[in-house]
Amino acid sequence: MEEKHGAESRRRWRKLHLALDADSGEIIAHVMTDQDAGDATQVEALLDQIDDPIGQFTADGAYDGNPTYEAVTKRSAGAAVVIPPRANAVEQPDADLFSQRDHHIAAINADGRMKWQAATDYGKRSLVETAIGRYKSIIGHRLRARSFATQQTEVAINCSSLNRMLACARPKSVRCETDTA
């Protein structure tokens, strides 16, 4: 219909950007945007919602770039930023300091991407995918509210509900020592 008549579709996508505590799996920050917003542009909005110091910021390649590194280090100077650089990324020769991004590029070039992922705990990034899957399976794929402001409220309530469910259902596992004689 759109191609034939030149009409614009009414359907607009919403993107949910999440920040998680890697230890607990709790959603500690969220931002909902329209379909045109880039992922990297939402880093500061997510970081503004986090009160505690950040130990490690792990994200996918869509966040690769100096603005992300600058926003995270401005927020928490000692934070490790773990973002896979693009395949054609090169080290910055004019940089005063050997940046974290340059370290990642050098490590990937020297040892390969899989060893870099293991060394930097990049696998923890999959926790965000798990949280999105949990959101979609429990809450659903659709927003019920119609206006953008009420959709943001709906997302905030849903994230809070998921955190409560996670807190209630997470087992407290303790390693038990057994005597084997």
Q: Where are the beta strands (DSSP E) in 91-167?
A: none
In the chain, what are the domain boundaries?
A: 11-165
CA torsion angle for 132, 138, 144, 149 (degrees, to 10)?
-50
State pLDDT tens for residues 29-88. Answer: 999 999 889 889 999 999 999 999 999 999 999 999 888 999 999 998 889 999 999 888
Nearest-5° angle of CA 145, CA 150, CA 156? 105
pTM: 0.80
- Domain 11-165, CATH 3.30.420 — does that match? yes
Quick check: 66 and 91 in contact, CB under 8 A?
no
